[in-house]
Amino acid sequence: MKTLTVDLGNRTYPIHIGSGLLQHAELIHPHIQGKTTTIVSNETIAPLYLDVLHKITSPYRNTDVILPDGEVYKTLEVEQQIFSQMLTARCDRKTTLFALGGGVVGDMTGFAAACYQRGIPFIQVPTTLLAMVDSSVGGKTGVNHPLGKNMIGAFYQPQCVLIDIDTLDTLDDQQLSAGLAEVIKYGFIRDLDFLNWLDQNMDKLLQRDKTALRYAIYRSCQHKAEIVAADEREAGQRALLNLGHTFGHAIETGMGYGKWLHGEAVSVGMVMAAELSQKMNWISKEAVQRVKNLLLKAKLPIEPPKAMSATQFSDLMSVDKKVQDGVLSLILMKSYGECIVSRDFDPVALQAVLSRE
Ligand code: NAD
Ligand code: GLY
């Protein structure tokens, strides 16, 4: 097992990464304060991993909340189900919530923890690659609104993140690739060496080689932990983690939640960010091709959906969380392996990218 730390003063917490960790009660018991726990999961993951989590939470009085599966259920209405079941079970301010699942369960459980009786502890047990390398770390929690992705939420940090990479054994190939988009993102933002490693080891990752997966997850979490510790509430460099997300969120919302996987939408968004950077002569055409090649190697899409017009993209991008005083910031590429946050992009070049000219 390897352990990283998200350094946030008295809210500092560990990220444990390894195989078989769901059997290790001693990793989570120190983070449970009271006598009760609530495990939030969904109807797909619960049959696979709920029993094993029950074993290590057996000293506590536990309630299970099983949500319907899918991005389309990441809503305030479904969130209410968590509160109702917890109130019925008389959960109190010392109840510890567990998020057992992917990013949807993680974001919703974290938000429930932030809100229930004004804040209770929670533990992230991510079971998708995407949740392991990104959503379980850093405390962004929330739900979607029909008018915009992740628009309702809170910054609220977990007590601990427990990454048992064995849970990836049951994840399907398309979801694995979606997670790889967020792994590759760290390379594009700030780690050329990692990009080269990913280029050489992509086949191993797709074949679920445990050593390669452990390394990719560790290195991704290392980047995430460093960035979150430096800029928890996204006043500056944390925005880099949104590379491709403004375009990607527009695709997810525009196409209807759940039609495109988050990681797939981010993959296309990163290509669009690369193309915009190239149109402004920040990076070369060869660099854009390298971006595309790596994503294709990870079996990810690189073309935006034909059904989305430039106008639809512009409208949806104008409600992005990086819009301030009416001005949008985008994450753009300065070179292959280095990104910056910029408000100074060329609107004509952006329009050309959105129109696919
Ligand atoms: P997801 O949570 O929908 O999970 C994907 C699918 O895999 C689901 O059907 C799920 O039931 C299934 N699944 C999960 N674990 C499994 C396993 N081990 N075996 C078999 N099936 C399993 O999707 P995701 O990609 O994990 O997360 C996407 C969500 O995360 C989006 O809502 C996105 O906005 C959010 N997100 C949040 C952050 C953040 O910082 N909070 C960062 C990135 C993404
Ligand atoms: N996934 C983006 C962030 O955590 O900031």
- Ligand that lies nearest to the alpha carbon of residue 228, given by its number in the listed order: 2
CA of 136 to the centre of ligand 2 (A): 10
Measured CA to CA, the distance from residue 276 to residue 274 in angstroms comes to 5
Answer yes or no: is the C-beta of 109 below 6 A from any ligand 1 atom. Answer: no
**Own/partner pairs for 349-357, CB < 8 Å, 24+ apart?**
349/276, 349/279, 349/280, 350/276, 351/310, 351/314, 352/279, 353/272, 353/275, 353/276, 353/279, 354/272, 354/310, 354/313, 354/314, 355/310, 356/304
Task: Summarize the confidence of residues 15-39 as an average pLDDT.
Answer: 97
Answer yes or no: is the C-beta of 133 below 6 A from any ligand 1 atom. Answer: no
323 vs 284: which has the higher pLDDT: 284
Measured CA to CA, the distance from residue 135 to residue 106 in angstroms comes to 7
Answer yes or no: is the C-beta of 234 below 6 A from any ligand 1 atom. Answer: no
Within 10 A of 182 (CB to CB), how many other CB atoms are there?
Answer: 26
Structural domains of the chain sorted by starting position, each given as residue range(s) with its CATH number in brackets = 2-170 (3.40.50.1970), 178-354 (1.20.1090.10)
Question: What is the pTM assigned to this prediction?
Answer: 0.97
Angle at alpha carbon of residue 315, lines to 311 and 319, rounded to 5°: 160
Mean pLDDT of the residues in the chain:
96
Q: Which residues are catalytic?
A: 118, 140, 182, 224, 234, 238, 242, 245, 249, 262
User: What is the reported pLDDT for 148?
Assistant: 84
CA 147 to chain centre: 20
In this structure, are residues 74 and 40 in contact, taking their beta carbons and an 8 Å threshold? Answer: no
- Which ligand 2 atom is the nearest neighbour of the CA of 140? 4
CA of 81 to the centre of ligand 2 (A): 25
- Ligand that lies nearest to the alpha carbon of residue 241, given by its number in the listed order: 2
User: What is the reported pLDDT for 341?
Assistant: 95
Q: What is the pLDDT of residues 150-181, one digit of tens each?
A: 999 999 999 999 999 999 999 999 999 999 99
CA of 320 to the centre of ligand 1 (A): 21
In this structure, are residues 252 and 260 in contact, taking their beta carbons and an 8 Å threshold? Answer: yes
Q: Does residue 55 register a pLDDT over 90?
A: yes
132 vs 318: which has the higher pLDDT: 132
DSSP 133: I
Answer yes or no: is the C-beta of 134 below 6 A from any ligand 1 atom. Answer: yes
In this structure, are residues 75 and 149 in contact, taking their beta carbons and an 8 Å threshold? Answer: no
User: What is the reported pLDDT for 182?
Assistant: 98
Phi, psi torsion values for 109, nearest 5 degrees: -70, -40
Task: Summarize the confidence of residues 213-221 as an average pLDDT.
Answer: 98
Task: Summarize the confidence of residues 275-285 as an average pLDDT.
Answer: 98
Q: What is the pLDDT of residues 56-106, one digit of tens each?
A: 999 999 999 999 999 999 999 999 999 999 999 999 999 999 999 999 999
- Ligand that lies nearest to the alpha carbon of residue 248, given by its number in the listed order: 1
Tokens found for residue 249: 């969120």
Task: Summarize the confidence of residues 289-302 as an average pLDDT.
Answer: 98
- Which ligand 1 atom is the nearest neighbour of the CA of 140? 41
Q: H or E stretch including 61?
A: strand 61-67
H-only helix segments in 29-102: 46-56, 76-88
